[in-house]
A and B are shown apart, each in its own frame.
Chain A
Amino acid sequence: DTAVSQTPKYLVTQMGNDKSIKCEQNLGHDTMYWYKQDSKKFLKIMFSYNNKELIINETVPNRFSPKSPDKAHLNLHINSLELGDSAVYFCASSRPTGDGGTNEKLFFGSGTQLSVL
């Protein structure tokens, strides 16, 4: 009963190829995200969707195209892969912390390690 699941876990591919990463959450959360973690371990937000609608696009190259067919799924398609795209990509979903404010608690998938050769 995995909460946030993403596939594949490892992705090795050549420069110039197109690849997709899939993500699904069974937590009933309204908001989903894609984060990129580089070699220096910085986690940076790429996209956020709320109920299938894009709410954050963090100046990511348009080679990256997220798609949310429903609020439980957020897939990431990457065109014309470049060496600099090598990183670990984390899908996440969130729910309010319940403290009456606007804070959210993130739940991450296990990550996809993308290696572009």
Chain B
Amino acid sequence: GQNIDQPTEMTATEGAIVQINCTYQTSGFNGLFWYQQHAGEAPTFLSYNVLDGLEEKGRFSSFLSRSKGYSYLLLKELQMKDSASYLCALHDFNKFYFGSGTKLNVKP
């Protein structure tokens, strides 16, 4: 496997900023993806990185450092609806390898 690690659970306050980290061990991949999954629902695409650096998409940004084997998802201006699991995934040769996800609890 790709040994993708994410924190199991995080809690943050509405309106705050939260960073969800993802580390991996692999020799190469095409891109690193972030998906959001609300309880009982399907994962939906949030953001992805091919090159090192920051990709910004509204309140969500994703960062990648290939040399450090590290990515993070940054969520700004947290809303209650952001309570969900966030899945980090590597795309390599037609396959996606998913981490187990980070469950984010947003409290008022």
Contact = CB atoms under 8 A, between A and B. Distances in A.
Contact-residue size bin, chain B (C-beta under 8 Å from the other chain): 20 to 34
B57 interface: no
Interface in B32-57: 33, 35, 40-45, 48, 50
Nearest to B92: A102
Given A43-B43, A90-B42, A106 B85 contact: no
B91 interface: yes
A103 B42 contact: no
Q: Is the interface of A mostly helix, strand, loop or mixed?
A: strand
Interface in A89-117: 90, 97, 99, 101-111
A97 B98 contact: no
A35 B100 CA distance: 13
Nearest to A45: B95
Q: Is the interface of B mostly helix, strand, loop or mixed?
A: strand
Interface residues of A, number: 27
A110 B41 contact: yes
B96 interface: yes
A103 B33 CA distance: 10
18 contacts: A40-B100, A43-B87, A44-B98, A45-B95, A45-B96, A56-B94, A56-B95, A97-B31, A97-B48, A101-B31, A101-B50, A103-B31, A103-B48, A104-B91, A104-B94, A107-B45, A110-B42, A111-B41
